[in-house]
Copies of this chain bind each other. A is one copy, B any other.
Amino acid sequence: MVLLRLLILNFMLTISAFAQKDYKLWLQYNKVTNTTIASQYKNNLQGIVVFGNSETSKKYSQELEIGFLNMLGNKPDIKSEIKGENNLIVGSESSLNSELKTMLQSDFEKINKEGFIIKSIFLKNKKQLIITGKNDVAVLYGVFHFLRLMQTNQSIQNLNIYDSPKTNIRILNHWDNLDRTVERGYAGFSLWNWQKLPDFIDQRYIDYARANASIGINGTVLTNVNANALILTPQYLEKVEALANVFRPYGIKVYLTARFSAPIEIGNLRTADPKDAEVINWWKNKAAEIYKRIPDFGGFLVKANSEGQPGPQNYGRNHVDGANMLADAVAPFGGIIMWRAFVYSEHDANDRAKQAYAEFQPYDGKFKENVIVQVKNGAIDFQPREPFHPLFGAMPKTPLMMEFQITQEYLGFSTHLVFLPKLFQEVLEADTFQKGKGSTVAKVVDGSLYNNKITGIAGVSNIGNDLNWTGHPFAQANWYGFGRLAWNPYLDSEIIADEWLRSTFSTDDNFVKPVKNMMLESREAVVNYMTPLGLHHIMDTGHHYGPGPWVSDLSRPEWNPVYYHKADKNGIGFDRSKSGTNATSQYVPEVEKIFDEVKTCPEKDLLWFHHVSWNYKLKNGQTLWNGLALKYQEGVNQVREMQNVWKKSEKFIDQERFTEVEMLLEIQYKEAKWWRDACLLYFQQFSGQELPAGVEKPTQTLEYFKSLKFPFAPGNG
């Protein structure tokens, strides 16, 4: 007989019996446990006065109450007027009383339409705190900023904050299909339950809107760029309308993808030619129909003549013709067209990396005012690392918006911890030299380089119906960081990681510091164990899960990894210099010169631009072969170190998320080794050289790795 003494289980267990924390994202509103900070907050928040009575003001009132109740443990003292001191006054400019309006007149000049002010003021000699902006959505942003200050335990005693978003369109692109599969989605399936819409409003829609508003996202494209015309039929527009109604109070506009052939498919026309009068009319009527339902509808996102999607070229027209026709349709209602520059053709023998620039750059200045061209961060396709896209800065008369990919199509799906703001920041800080030194991509995107009227940043969503929204708890940080960078493309990713960790997990420095470092290093780790030194697009086919450098049998040459790495007896890499495809010439001379020469080309981009001998000497003195192998090993080592760091975090956070991340890091470690082994064994066939000291022996044979098949890998579009 064995007597088991029951473990004294702490309160955490009662929670961990049912998964919940993950769902709350970065809006945990954990109780403020630091007593000094908590009493400062209580002292400075003795009452709340909310001006305004819009739907949006109801939302920020609720959010303040939820936040205060959870963080401070008590209900705020609600006041119907400003009485006493240390009240929090909240409301938009027009709703303020005349005294406040006058006092803040010059302050309002410091913010734009969506910006907010959080300021400690003296009113009749009494100290108060005000959150305001030019409209209620701006105030909502201010409220979320204020709650973030509290979540990160910052002082609120003497605040003087003016913060305005630097871009107009801060938008998620959902590649969600009407059957709820999500192309390149790794967090379950689509949030949008079309079958139950419009009558059933899932609480998730509301929480999705809250989360987005909290980081300043103001638009969402509900449907896949590989579009289905049915979304434009009344049956579905009714459902879209219901979502728009949910999102509106949170300042989030709804957009749809427009399938270019919709006039044929659902309009019973015989053509979709953008110059055809009936087609033009069909789109005008369709726009009117949509705006009747959704007066603040944002507009259309279009993928045309790319990867099999229909477009104006099917009718001998060009992208300008297509985009402008749609732009005319939505212009009367204030809508915009986001026209994607992600095009490449199987009939174009040109280097795929050159095709978007070659096709779009000549159109500069030809698009209508309400068209913005959406350009991926690099010239291929969301690789772990790409040089910035040569179109940035190259179309001074055309607004260009950035397309980042938040979902980790090429970065380990939802099992690898990769902090993407680091990648985003690298791209935004890249200098195009288009107007001399300092012409960064960020300045193109925020419109400051060429004074664009409309500006924007899009992120391909990593959100699904997984309980934790994003599959990996740390993938929430990529959604968060995307939003923060869309608001301010100059924000440092370290600050983002810091904010996110404190809001999401714990404000304990002993937790935050090492885990933040782990996050910041994670992006370089994935580059190292997947595609070091400028390698790219060597993942397995279709699903893009795991390595597949050997793949060479796909119908289109530029879909094959061998097209990209070009490994042979002589060396490895894609010669895009003058001696090769001359893709470097698409950059301005200052940049071109750097990329074009093997010696000046940054080693992180080396094999992107050059075919280099296996025995080429790297800056660290290693041969290319040895250096490549050591980079792969370094990636694996970095993941092992991430595991060590994480193990030490156990005592700071809840058991459930700790264990989740622990399991995921174990998968990441296993897969990092898989990448290392498969790629090195494959490339070794060409280099003919041994692995250098320090690189672990492969765990399996090349034949084994080649034999792996994943028929049901998620996200395969």
Interface residues, chain A, CB within 8 Å of chain B? 1-9, 11, 13-14, 16-20, 23-24, 27, 48-53, 57-58, 61-62, 65-66, 69-70, 75-76, 78, 80-81, 95-97, 178-180, 186, 188-189, 194-196, 199-201, 203-204, 207, 210, 230, 413-415, 465-467, 656, 660, 663-664, 666-667, 670, 710-714
29 inter-chain pairs at a CB distance below 8 angstroms, sorted by A residue, are A1-B96, A3-B81, A4-B51, A4-B53, A5-B78, A5-B80, A7-B61, A9-B66, A14-B65, A14-B66, A14-B69, A17-B62, A18-B20, A18-B23, A18-B24, A18-B27, A18-B203, A18-B207, A19-B203, A178-B711, A186-B195, A188-B189, A195-B712, A196-B414, A199-B663, A199-B667, A200-B667, A201-B663, A467-B467
A291 smallest CB distance to B (angstroms):
25
Nearest chain B CB to A646 CB, angstrom units: 15
CA distance A667 to B78 in the complex (A): 38
> What's the Cα separation between A195 and B207 when bound, in Å?
27
Partner of A6, one of B14, B50, B670, B710: B50
The prevalent SS among residues of A at the interface is loop
Q: Is the CB of A9 within 8 A of B415?
A: no
Pick from B13, B57, B62, B467: contact of A62, CB below 8 A: B13
Residues of B within 8 A of A27 (CB): 18
**Partner among B2, B8, B714 whose Cβ is within 8 Å of the Cβ of A53:** B2
- Among A14, A48, A51, A194, chain B packs the most CB atoms within 10 A around the CB of A14
Q: Once the chains are docked, how many angstroms separate the CA of A210 from the CA of B200?
A: 29
Closest B residue by C-beta to A177 = B712
Q: Which of A66, A178, A413, A667 has the most CB of B within 10 A?
A: A66
Query: Closest Cβ of chain B: how far from A95's Cβ, in Å?
Result: 6
Give the complex CA separation of A465 and B81 in angstroms.
Answer: 47
Q: Which residues of B contact A11 (CB under 8 A)?
A: 69
**Which among B52, B467, B714 is the interface contact of A195 at CB below 8 angstroms?**
B714
- By a CB distance below 8 angstroms, the chain B residues around A95 are 1-2
Chain B nearest CB from A464 CB (Å) reads: 9
- A97 cross-chain contacts in B, Cβ below 8 A: 1
User: Given the complex, which residues of B lie within 8 Å of A207, measured CB to CB?
Assistant: 17-19
Residues of B within 8 A of A666 (CB): 199
| Chain B proximity of A473: nearest CB distance (Å) | 12
**CA–CA, A204 to B465, complex, Å?**
13
Contact A413 B195 (CB under 8 A): yes
A186 partner residues in chain B, CB cutoff 8 A:
195
Instruction: State the oligomeric state as a number of copies.
Output: 2
A178 to B75, CA, bound (A): 49
Chain B residues contacting A19 (CB-CB under 8 Å) are 23, 203-204, 207
Q: Kindly list the 7 A-B residue pairs having the minimum CB-CB distance in the complex, ordered from nearest.
A: A19-B203, A6-B78, A4-B53, A178-B712, A199-B667, A5-B80, A179-B712
A62 touches B3 (CB 8 A): no
Residues of B within 8 A of A714 (CB): 180, 195
Interchain CB contact under 8 A, B4 and A204: no
Q: Which residues of B contact A180 (CB under 8 A)?
A: 189, 712, 714
Partner of A65, one of B9, B52, B66, B414: B9
Is B18 a contact of A664 with CB atoms below 8 Å?
no
Give chain B residues whose Cβ lies under 8 Å from the Cβ of A194.
Answer: 712
Tell me which residues across on chain B come within 8 A of A80, comparing CB atoms.
Answer: 3, 5
Which interface residue of A6, A13, A16, A414 has the most chain B CB atoms within 10 A? A6
Q: Which residue of B lies closest to A49 (CB)?
A: B3
Q: Which residues of B contact A69 (CB under 8 A)?
A: 9, 11, 14
* CB of A667, distance to nearest CB on chain B (Å): 5
Kindly name the residue among A18, A66, A78, A663 whose own CB sees the greatest number of chain B CB atoms within 10 A: A18
- B413–A14 contact, CB under 8 A? no
Contacts of A24 in B (CB 8 A): 18
**A465–B188 alpha-carbon span in the complex (Å):** 8
In the assembled complex, which residues on chain B have CB atoms less than 8 Å from the CB atom of A52?
A: 2, 4
- Closest chain B CB from A454 CB (angstroms): 33
Within the assembled complex, what's the spacing in Å between the Cα atoms of A637 and B76? 46
**Residues of chain B with a CB closer than 8 A to A4's CB:** 50-53, 57-58, 61
CB distance from A545 to the nearest CB of B (A): 8
Measured CB to CB, the closest approach of chain B to A26, in angstroms, equals 12
Instruction: Give bound CA distance, A62 to B656, whole Å.
Output: 15
List chain B residues, Cβ under 8 A from A50.
4, 6
- CA gap between A95 and B2 in the complex, in Å: 7
* A586 vs chain B, min Cβ distance (A): 38
- Cβ of A205 to closest chain B Cβ, rounded Å: 11
The one of B20, B188, B670 that contacts A23, using a Cβ cutoff of 8 Å? B20
Asked, given contacts A14-B70, A53-B2, whether A8 binds B75 with beta carbons under 8 Å apart, the answer is: yes
* Residue from A65, A95, A96, A194 having most chain B Cβ neighbours under 10 A: A65
A414 to B196, CA, bound (A): 9
**Cα–Cα distance between A81 and B1 once the two chains are bound (Å):** 12
Q: Which residue of B lies closest to A4 (CB)?
A: B53
Expressed in whole angstroms, the Cα–Cα distance for A713 and B195 within the complex equals 6
Closest residue of chain B to A543, judged by CB? B195
* Residues of chain B within 8 A of A53, CB atoms compared: 2, 4
- Least Cβ distance of A409 to chain B in Å? 14
Query: Cβ of A465: which chain B residues have Cβ within 8 Å of it?
Result: 188-189, 465-467
